[in-house]
């Protein structure tokens, strides 16, 4: 399962950072694109399983879904691509270019103050 792999890689990144700082992580923020979407609930569940009994237990995960960006070829305006309404927000042209999807990123980790 995709989320399990993602959860494990987040867990190892957070654990490594926690060990380096010798601090307890409270929360982490992850962002991902639209073409490789993550099910938040499955991810959180998989993370909890991976973090059980470690310094990462009890920490919260926040997943931010970043919309696909598109640029209209007619008027040049940039907009968030909406799969249900694939047209330029400004001029309704359907001639646009879609930017590369956002990668999965571990944006930030919050640690407990010691």
Question: CB of 89: closest distance to Zn ion in angstroms?
Answer: 7
Coil/strand/helix, residue 55: coil
Q: Is 75 in the site for Zn ion (CB under 5 A)?
A: yes
Q: Is 98 in the site for Zn ion (CB under 5 A)?
A: no
39 to 33, 62, 78, 110: CA distances (angstroms): 12, 12, 27, 22
Q: Which of 90, 95, 97, 108 binds Zn ion (CB under 5 A)?
A: 90
Chain residues that interact with Zn ion, rule: CB under 5 A = 72, 74-75, 88, 90-91, 93
């Amino acid at each position: 399962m995709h989320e399990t792999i993602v959860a494990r890689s987040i867990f190892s990144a957070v654990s490594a950072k926690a060990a380096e700082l010798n601090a307890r992580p409270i929360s982490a923020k992850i962002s991902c694109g639209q073409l490789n979407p993550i099910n938040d609930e499955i991810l959180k569940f998989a993370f909890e399983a991976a973090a059980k009994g470690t310094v990462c237990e009890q920490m919260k995960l926040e997943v931010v879904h970043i919309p696909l960006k598109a640029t209209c070829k007619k008027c040049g305006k940039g907009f968030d691509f909406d799969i249900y309404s694939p047209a330029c927000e400004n001029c309704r042209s359907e001639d646009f270019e879609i930017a590369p999807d956002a990668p999965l990123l571990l944006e930030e980790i919050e640690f407990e103050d010691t």
